[in-house]
Amino acid sequence: MDVQERLTELAVLIEDAKSMPLSASCIVNRPLVLDLIDEIRHMLPESVHRADALLADSEAVVLEGRREANRIIDRARSDADRLTSEHEVYLAAVAEAQALRSQVESESDRMRRETDDYIDAKLAMFEITLQKSLQIVDRARDRLHGQIYQDLAPEPVGYVDELYDESR
């Protein structure tokens, strides 16, 4: 049993004690009350010692809790600093990537325009070459047609007359 239980027993013993007529005094069993008081006295140093130990333990627990809280706060601050710097690095990387992307897109557009211009120039030259080739082919065909028609054309009138004269 502990001190609180013994004190409760003592209080019950006094409350249940017989009252003296016309007085606030009561009759208690002296040996029983003294035994309870002795038990409480013997328990008190132990209880006080336990209370001191608990108090010391609680102070140690509180102190350790504060140390742990400070460690957690320090770690949280360093994590926050790290995350902030990582976020800043991320933002810088995103900005650099966007700048690089726009530079590459403009360079790509310029190269595409140059390529289109080059191809257009080559196609224009090819078109001119084809037109000249077609003109040459047309002239050659015209000459060829001209010769065929000359071969098929009737002889000049003087020649026919000569043939006519010979047959007579």
For 4-29, what is each residue's pLDDT tens digit? Answer: 888 888 888 888 888 888 888 888 88
pTM above 0.75, yes or no: no
For 79-132, what is each residue's pLDDT tens digit? Answer: 888 888 788 888 888 899 999 999 999 999 999 999 999 999 999 999 999 999
Sequence ranges of the domains in the chain = 3-116
For 35-45, what is each residue's pLDDT tens digit? Answer: 888 888 888 77
Q: Does residue 53 carry a pLDDT above 70?
A: yes
Q: Quickly list DSSP for 17-68.
A: SEEPTTSS-EE--HHHHHHHHHHHHHHHHHHHHHHHHHHHHHHHHHHHHHHH
According to the model, what pLDDT value does residue 57 have?
Answer: 78
